[in-house]
A and B are shown apart, each in its own frame.
Chain A
Amino acid sequence: LAEMNASRQNINLMQLVYGNSTTVSVAAINGSIDEESDDEKFFKPKGEGTKKSKEGLDDDLNAEDCSKFKILSQNDWKDEEVKEKIRDRFVKMGWSKAARAGQVPE
């Protein structure tokens, strides 16, 4: 079941990015000249992708050209519990490893 779920997600992501497979193949054939299909490409993902791309950036024709993307994180990084969540992403601190094992750092 998990595998099925994973494969469905996989398709969804592909669809989210590239739109429907039929649109893609049509677009790939005559995409260079056909303005209509271009339009389709711009607007297609909106319906499908409302869940993930709710920023709606990709739907504005004249959206700002900006690669920087700020992750909207509600985490308060001053909170020790929140920090614990990403602790396993860090190399353990060598000099205080023993001292810190099992205890919340200050």
Chain B
Amino acid sequence: MAKISFKKLRGSQYLRLRLLLSTLSSTPILIEDIRADSMMPGLRPHEISFLRLLEKVCDGCKVEINETGTKLKYKPGIIMGGKHLSHDCGLSRSIGYFLEPLIVLALFGKKPLTISLRGITNDSKDPSVDTFKSTTLPILKHFGVNSDGLDLKIQSRAVAPGGGGEVILSVPILQGGLTAVSWIDEGLVKRIRGVTFSTRVSVQFENTMIHAARGIMNPMLADIHIFTDHKAGPLAGKSPGYGISLVAETTSGCFISADTAVCYARVEDESGVEDDEKKYLIPAEEVGEQIAGDLFAEIEQGGVVDSTHQGLLFLLCALCPQDVSKVRVGKLSPYGIETLRHIRDFLDVKFVIKPDPDTETVILKCVGCGLKNLSRKVS
């Protein structure tokens, strides 16, 4: 067997992105110095869990980790997809962490993917499952992903530290590839939708959040609906918590989201500072006001997606057929910038980035790498 040349990378940063791009571009990677200087060196449970997830979804991929977990060798396989899969996402990161890369990966699979993911459905670090449903999936539709097979079902909810939630994700495969977009019109916000949830606490928390958020938003817009989703019993996971996800829909079909969740901190959180802060829960009223403000800040910034979804947007543009895509975003987010760099490294796609001084937004143009759904053709 020929010696495989690995692409060398360092550090645990952007691990999901690297593994995703490695798989899509069939580039084996070798990552060294993963938290080598940390108190707890090596890969974290959620990172291991993500690797296991990759193994489930792909065929023939090879993962080698050294004893301390500071070195990872990954040789991608063929993305298989498949039905009735299930994966335990663990409790160190929420399901959103896994969904973000998984959804792109699954598009290029051999068979449509249906997978049940168990773990934490809502937290403040990753996009919640509600945001995923309301914002991320519509973004995919802009790129010509068939909306029939695309769905996320929230079976039960859970927050940290206990977990115990479950969602079912179904993603169709791409028949012809993505469609390049020219997506620079943000439009005007025509309605705001939202979902609040509460697990193992009174539904009153939700009402308070809605009331507070509406207090900020109502003067701007009449068409606001925020639904409640109160879970109790076995559907509510093991820990108390509440949260809210808002999405602003514009006249040109853009979705701008903001979400958060409040719950008790995880025990194994290493950053003691954060622990202290989270000893008490932020009152529901504050959460509502804060999230409405966050949403307004995203709207003010402009762009066809919010800052959380910039990475996904760039990635989809780069994976398009060899055709020009043009998108507008607000200020580039750090994750977005890093995604652009990784896209250049793995897919050899470079964006032309032009600021638009009038609106203080940024316009990005690229020619897609023309990635075909290779897995599908193999059969």
Contact = CB atoms under 8 A, between A and B. Distances in A.
Specify whether A and B are partners: yes
Interface of A: 2, 5-6, 9-10, 13-14, 16-18, 24, 27-28, 31-33, 35, 38-39, 41-42, 52-53, 55, 57-58, 60-71, 73, 75-78, 80, 83, 85-91, 93-96, 105-106
Interface in B135-190: 186, 188-190
B38 A67 contact: no
Contact of B308 (A27, A69, A83): A69
A77 B221 contact: no
A61 B33 contact: yes
A61 B12 contact: yes
Contacts of B47: 65
B interface secondary structure, majority: mixed
Contacts of B345: 27, 31, 41
Interface of B: 5, 7-17, 27, 33-35, 38, 47, 97, 100, 125-127, 186, 188-190, 215-216, 219-222, 251, 289, 292-294, 296-302, 307-309, 311-312, 331-338, 340-341, 344-345, 348, 350-355, 357, 362
Given A13-B362, A61-B12, A106-B219, A41 B348 contact: no
Contact of B221 (A10, A18, A62, A90): A90
A106 B290 CA distance: 20
Contacts of A13: 332, 353-355, 362
A77 B216 contact: yes
A70 B294 contact: yes
Contact of A73 (B14, B300, B351): B300
15 contacts: A6-B354, A10-B355, A13-B332, A17-B353, A18-B341, A31-B345, A60-B11, A65-B15, A65-B16, A68-B125, A68-B335, A71-B294, A73-B296, A75-B297, A89-B299
A31 to B, nearest CB: 6
A53 B338 CA distance: 11
Nearest to A68: B308
Contacts of A93: 221-222
Given A14-B352, A90-B189, 13 more contacts: A27-B345, A33-B7, A38-B9, A39-B10, A60-B13, A62-B11, A62-B35, A68-B125, A68-B335, A71-B301, A90-B188, A93-B222, A105-B219
Nearest 5 pairs between A and B by C-beta? Answer: A61-B11, A73-B297, A69-B333, A57-B334, A77-B293
A78 B340 contact: no
A69 B350 contact: no
Given A17-B340, A18-B350, A95-B222, A86 B299 contact: yes
